[in-house]
Chain A
Amino acid sequence: KAGVTQTPRYLIKTRGQQVTLSCSPISGHRSVSWYQQTPGQGLQFLFEYFSETQRNKGNFPGRFSGRQFSNSRSEMNVSTLELGDSALYLCASSPGTPNSGEKLFFGSGTQLSVL
């Protein structure tokens, strides 16, 4: 069974640009969540989706948005990039509903560098 797939693996952008990251969950998994990981802050929760609906959102500005499609694939978008957005963006999936105490399956992440 294929794991969680994130594309692209690496991305370099300049300030002010926007970026879209993609995540394909494990087949059959319906919940997808996104995290930002930086050396100083660790993993910070961005948002979580289930059945194409955002079920939870972290404390990030409105420049960060996401969506989930009917096949459970998810995308996140960051507009008007800032230098501080440089980070590893991780996607995770789980089989059931959010907040059900299930473990998360993570992808390898997208490393975003903003110059």
Chain B
Amino acid sequence: EDQVTQSPEALRLQEGESSSLNCSYTVSGLRGLFWYRQDPGKGPEFLFTLYSAGEEKEKERLKATLTKKESFLHITAPKPEDSATYLCAVEPGGYQKVTFGTGTKLQVIP
């Protein structure tokens, strides 16, 4: 069965303190790995899709990378508005369901 493990569960950073979130996965043939951001009381909001090992994508202070077994979400010089829960999800090949990790709750302190 496909598995997605995110670490750490929670992360507290000072504003400007860069860090990385990890998403480890096991899947039978990866079609895509997704990163979403979820704010309290809202549904997840799409950030990135990565399709193959070695791929990288950037958006403002966020950069997502992918290897054959894990993905990292790097946050450079975070701001308080980056505080949210970050979710990782994998879509396997074939007609299989998308599997989500349980997320990393990020808090950025001013």
Contacts and interface: CB of A to CB of B under 8 A. Distances in A.
A111 B102 CA distance: 18
A104 B51 CA distance: 15
A103 B37 CA distance: 13
B31 interface: yes
Interface residues of B, number: 26
Given A42-B101, A45-B98, A103 B46 contact: yes
B88 to A, nearest CB: 10
Contacts of B51: 101
Interface of B: 31-32, 34, 36, 41-46, 49, 51, 87, 89, 91, 93-103
Interface of A: 4, 33, 35, 41-45, 48, 55-56, 58, 90, 92, 98-99, 101, 103-109
